[in-house]
Structure 1
């Protein structure tokens, strides 16, 4: 008979490395970061009161010396309390009538007092219908993170699409390489639509401001510096408005300037106030920020001013004021979609349960198509969602307030709010029931332990299940031959 080999296994879910038991008084910024982490981990935590929030923070940081009172004081100072008055700037956003806009069939553009400019159907649309298509954006902006690849002939200088080494050599044969600099294009479409490449990239003329021709519109060497500055600071918005300004000043018709000016606009410093009322860690321009919430106000203003000086150094005869620079940043931030600006699409207002779906092509240069997400009645406003509709109510509200300046009051938000209130009411009722049971037991048994009788089912006595603990030892027996 084989002798069994007995092995003792330790099953333990406790921390192997004990946490420090030394009490620590955390800095207020660490407290805020801990709270925001709780909110990000579970959006339901955003509705918790100070008491429960304090318990969760202490659970994550048991060595912190932190009272409920101090937690409340810190959150109040960062305007993070549920009762805090949150900053909005929707009333600061302005727009004008859009000139030279060719609207799709069965669509009209209308101004309303509460929602400003908006698009409305003039006919019935069935779910899945193509409402309109914009093959080219008003302003196309390539990805900023492709700048180095573009400089090394590994990405298209217009759209930023990656180009393999084999295709790079073929570009010469196809005439898709620049005969002055190292830049290449991925297609004839991109080469044809790249209206500002020569002005921005070619240093064939004197770039010394003292020697330059007074009629020269762009100093390309200064554009290269500005482009590098934007890339170092991951500042897509500044990069974008530099390109937009280049397109505008080279547009002899003047239409581009008027259409950009007619878009919904607000200064970036006004938008930034919404961060102050959200505390650090707020969502702010997910696809561009130039520091965003990671910068304190003084650092942010310093970045803006530095960017402004570099911006104007590019355009000697088409300079703008500091206020215009901030306005252009804000205008781009609240109107862009996937980095670029589309003229008709920019008129769509928000709803957390939108009735249209905006679909992009396979390539960034393919433009967009707008479909009916459900049946749309005549004279119904066409809406899109500025945020992910599947996100929690609080997350959507915070993103919309910080990034677009308004408190959403759509039907979906109202319904979600009712569900949350109902859940809170049920939890309060449940807690009260537990309290009643505890009170009953204390009153009838004077706090003494007592046995619960074994249940009898179908005349048979059933034993109660034992609970399982995960700090017990388990004996494993392995038979070896």
Structure 2
């Protein structure tokens, strides 16, 4: 699994759309060093949507307005780490096309007993008749749109519109059903639009998305959108911009992106590259009929009157890539401490000391000529060589990711198993060979495990090894996957705080790998000296790792959720390991007792 694609932030997987170019209008830019202005302050800026009442706002949180970051959410009292700040069902969501036949389109679950397919569109599936009935009010409109889209599709691979198009369609149908003056519709309309300063590439993408939406709704021109409350090109532009800017990834309990979702209340949280809270879909199991539940979880203790901040981008990326992503999608420059702590080495851009003193140096770039170890002040001399390695690593990461995506696409777009094996294994083996060759080059250049692009390549290498292991369950592949998983967790631990869901999931994966039955357990006593160990010592390592993983999951996925579905799964694995270790310990005890009895005879 690759966690670099994690977007429990407002980033859509949208196609493209109808958007006007920039004009002279201005909107407040978001930053993350807020000057708090309370709502009763006479100098408080008055947002056009200040009267919007957000459904699901908890009592310990309130919306305030900052002079620098606009609207945001603040804690009214102490919020402890692992607490659920907000829990609600998204206003709207849509599964990714590749997950439509494996997940319920009402609750996003993956049921054990199989799914029921809609006999009309033959595209969406449901857990049972109850889920199908609950979704019918919207799906009766969606069903017809899906059938018409499939009839006019140029190829089988394009017979289903993107999740972005389908989610937008559901939003417009529900706005019409709820009423344009309803609180549900007003919350959607209150989402911030950045249409006045969109980047050219975003304008092009949004224009394509708008054209696809008009076609999906069965309209011959944008003018027919008036029945959905869209009376002008500006209204359509705002709708698309609000959607793209405020969309969250719908994820599985283990953080795999499976679709898109929209929640106006959760969209109020402002950004930091060192967030105090995260957005997850843990599946608490308490109210299955209300799933999927989008939850905002506190990663650390949040003080009263402190703004609650989440992250919009992958915070394992270096500052330049984070800032570029934020500028393109949200049009602001982040001012958080992580981005502007110039006197501290950023582990995302770091190398080991050339004198091996265990200190770190900033990774060379075009910004400076002298780089020194912060511990012993040794000067880095091979700057050109290291910069070349960084460039090669970035190119390899992009190429390997592209190959992996192509292979997975082949797997999802065909039902013939022999075709899957030929195309997928060929493509993924190419990507695996690429990561296998490039990672040692970056390591020899002195990059730390948390440095980009090494960390991302290690994560990708791990996911490729896991796929290969599922096809060829060899001891060597399993051991290599375990070592790579440990390196990945080590790199994440240098960047993400204890309990961050990405870090917690990575540790849970390592523990599960250690607990896998060995295809060929080592018999030599020396085999247990290296990592990973073999036999009972490996089970002990798995147990300790999973205990730590469960601790982190309880924070990142909520203590009241018992760590979510993944946390409960780890708890069951721990019980199983306890029994297995108990049997092993009892066997040793019996053997020793038999030996003692024999010696006494």
- Normalised by the size of structure 2, how large is the TM-score? 0.42
Higher normalized helix content (fraction of residues): 2
SS state at 2:64 partner = strand
Q: Distance between the aligned counterparts of 1:191 and 1:326, measured in 2?
A: 33
Contact 2:86 2:295 in 1 (8 A): yes
2:173 to 239, 246, 251: 246
Counterparts in 2 of 1:374 and 1:199: CA distance versus 1, 3 Å: same
Q: What residue number does 1:325 align with?
A: 236
Task: Note if 1:156 corresponds to 2:77.
Answer: no
SS state at 1:310 partner = helix
Counterparts in 2 of 1:239 and 1:179: CA distance versus 1, 3 Å: closer
Counterparts in 2 of 1:374 and 1:300: CA distance versus 1, 3 Å: closer
Deviation of 1:431 (Å): 11
Aligned length: 296
The equivalences for 1:233-272 within 5 A come to 235-252=162-179, 254-267=182-195, 270-272=197-199
Q: Distance between the aligned counterparts of 1:201 and 1:139, measured in 2?
A: 16
CA deviations 1:399-422 (Å, max 9, x no partner) are 111122111111111115764799
Task: Note if 1:167 corresponds to 2:108.
Answer: no
Contact 1:334 1:403 in 2 (8 A): yes
- Note the aligned Cα RMSD (angstroms): 4.2
Task: Note if 1:115 corresponds to 2:97.
Answer: no
Q: What residue number does 2:262 align with?
A: 341
Deviation of 1:124 (Å): 1.4
Counterparts in 2 of 1:127 and 1:228: CA distance versus 1, 3 Å: farther
Q: Distance between the aligned counterparts of 2:248 and 2:154, measured in 1?
A: 23
Counterparts in 2 of 1:362 and 1:128: CA distance versus 1, 3 Å: closer
SS state at 1:427 partner = coil
Structure 2 unaligned spans of 5+ = 5-25, 31-46, 250-259, 285-289, 350-360, 382-601
Deviation of 1:392 (Å): 1.0
Q: What residue number does 1:60 align with?
A: none
Q: Distance between the aligned counterparts of 1:235 and 1:378, measured in 2?
A: 42
Deviation of 1:427 (Å): 1.9
Q: Distance between the aligned counterparts of 1:260 and 1:377, measured in 2?
A: 30
Q: With CA pairs under 8 Å and 6+ residues apart, which has the higher RCO, 1 or 2?
A: 1
Deviation of 1:347 (Å): 0.9
SS state at 2:178 partner = coil
Q: Distance between the aligned counterparts of 1:129 and 1:157, measured in 2?
A: 28
Q: Distance between the aligned counterparts of 1:181 and 1:433, measured in 2?
A: 62
CA deviations 1:291-319 (Å, max 9, x no partner) are x7xxxx7x758735632541563477615
Q: Distance between the aligned counterparts of 1:416 and 1:95, measured in 2?
A: 37
Contact 1:185 1:191 in 2 (8 A): yes
1:106 to 60, 66, 70: 60
Q: Distance between the aligned counterparts of 1:305 and 1:366, measured in 2?
A: 27
Contact 1:308 1:325 in 2 (8 A): no
Q: Which range moved further: 193-202 or 227-236?
A: 227-236
CA deviations 1:257-312 (Å, max 9, x no partner) are 21100111233x84333x4xxxxxxxxxxxxxxxx7xxxx7x75873563254156
Q: What residue number does 1:379 align with?
A: 305
Q: What residue number does 1:25 align with?
A: none
Q: Distance between the aligned counterparts of 2:303 and 2:193, measured in 1?
A: 30
The equivalences for 1:30-69 within 5 A come to none
Q: What residue number does 1:198 align with?
A: 140
Q: Distance between the aligned counterparts of 2:248 and 2:270, measured in 1?
A: 13
Contact 1:393 1:417 in 2 (8 A): no
Q: Distance between the aligned counterparts of 1:186 and 1:125, measured in 2?
A: 36
Deviation of 1:366 (Å): 3.0
Contact 1:95 1:264 in 2 (8 A): no
Q: For the pair shown, which has the larger CA radius of gyration, 1 or 2?
A: 1
Contact 2:138 2:173 in 1 (8 A): yes
Counterparts in 2 of 1:303 and 1:342: CA distance versus 1, 3 Å: closer
Deviation of 1:178 (Å): 5.2
- Normalised by the size of structure 1, how large is the TM-score? 0.51
Contact 1:354 1:385 in 2 (8 A): yes
